[in-house]
Amino acid sequence: MLAIIPARSGSSSVPSKNLAAVAGKPLLAYAIEAARRAAVVERVVVSTDSSTIAEVARQWGGEAPFLRPEELARDDIPGVSPIIHAVKWLEEHEGYRSDYVLCLQPTSPLRTAQDIEQAMALLLKKQADSVISVTPVHDHPYWTKTVDAEGRMSEFMTDKKPVLRRQDLPPAYVLNGAVYLVKREVLLRRQSFYGEKTCAYVMPRERSLDIDTPWDLYLADLILRDRASRGGESWNYT
C-alpha cells in the first residue's frame, strides 16, 4: 500500500498548521509515524509545495521526492487532486505502482497504525472499492435547527418525524478525515476516493479529532501529552 500525506504550506485557519508543534512534534510527524508503524504500508510519501515541509517530512521518516505544482496547492483544489498527482508522478518518474492508495491528512493526529491496518482488513473482507473513516455524530442532524433573519427557529430537516429522545435517534456518522483508502484503479478511473462500493471504517470520537482551529490544536496537544504519559497509543477513559 502507498500512503500519501497531503501537506501544503498554506492554511486559512491556522498559519503553518502542518508544522505546528503538538506535544513536542510537528503535526505532520504523527501521520508519518502512524503510516510507518502500519504493517500494510510499503511507502510513505508527503505531497507538499514547501521545501521546508519536505525537509521536515524526511526528518521524521517520510519521503518527499517532488514538490507539488502551485496549481495543486490552492485552498480551492479538491482534496483528491494532489493524491492523483502523487500516484501518477511516482509511476512516471520511478516506475512505482501500488494497487492500494491511502490518503492520511496531517490534521488527524490521533489515528493509529491499527486504524490503518483495520481499514485495509475491512476493504479486503468486504471486497470494497474504498474505505473511508467516520465517527458517530455528536450533534445529530435530526436535532439541527435553522435561524432566519428575524431570529425565528425552524427545523433544518423538514421531511422527518419528530424525535424527542436521544435513544430513538437513528445512527448517524460523519467523516472524521483520518483514513481514505482506495484501490488505485478506482482512484484514477473515478477521480475520487469513492467507488461503487465504499465501506465505512468507524472510529471512536477519542481518535477522531480533525484539526481546523487553534482550539483543536490545543486539544490535540493536551491529548497527545496525556497519551505519551500513559506510554502508548491507546487508553481507556471509562
Q: How confident is the model at residue 232 (pLDDT cuts 50, 70, 90)?
A: low
Q: How confident is the model at residue 14 (pLDDT cuts 50, 70, 90)?
A: confident
And the C-alpha cell for 144?
Answer: 439541527
Q: Could you read off the pLDDT of 67-91 as tens digits, one per residue?
A: 999 888 887 788 999 999 999 999 9
**Residue 10: per-residue pLDDT:** 76
Cross-strand bridge partners of residue 134: 175, 202
Cross-strand bridge partners of residue 146: 154
Q: In this model, does residue 236 exceed pLDDT 70?
A: no
**Residue 76: per-residue pLDDT:** 77
**Residue 102: per-residue pLDDT:** 98
**What does the pLDDT average to over 4-21?**
88
**Residue 164: per-residue pLDDT:** 63
CATH topology of domain 2-134+175-230: Spore Coat Polysaccharide Biosynthesis Protein SpsA; Chain A (3.90.550)
Q: In this model, does residue 237 exceed pLDDT 70?
A: no
The DSSP 8-state label assigned to residue 178 in this structure reads E
**Residue 64: per-residue pLDDT:** 98
Dump strand ranges (E) for the chain. 2-6, 21-22, 25-26, 43-47, 100-103, 130-136, 145-147, 153-155, 173-183, 198-202
**Residue 173: per-residue pLDDT:** 94
- State the chain's mean pLDDT as an integer: 92
Cross-strand bridge partners of residue 181: 102, 131
Cα separation of 46 and 106, whole Å?
10
Cα separation of 119 and 117, whole Å?
5
Taking the chain, what is the end-to-end CA distance rounded to the nearest angstrom?
34
Q: CA angle at residue 177 from 47 to 31, to 5 degrees?
A: 50
Could you tell me which of 144, 148, 134, 149 has the C-alpha nearest to residue 200? 134
And the C-alpha cell for 219?
Answer: 486539544
And the C-alpha cell for 13?
Answer: 485557519
- For the chain, the domains span 2-134+175-230
**Residue 233: per-residue pLDDT:** 53
Q: Helix or strand or coil: residue 43?
A: strand
Q: Could you read off the pLDDT of 122-179 as tens digits, one per residue?
A: 999 999 999 999 999 988 888 788 999 999 998 888 776 777 677 778 889 999 999 9
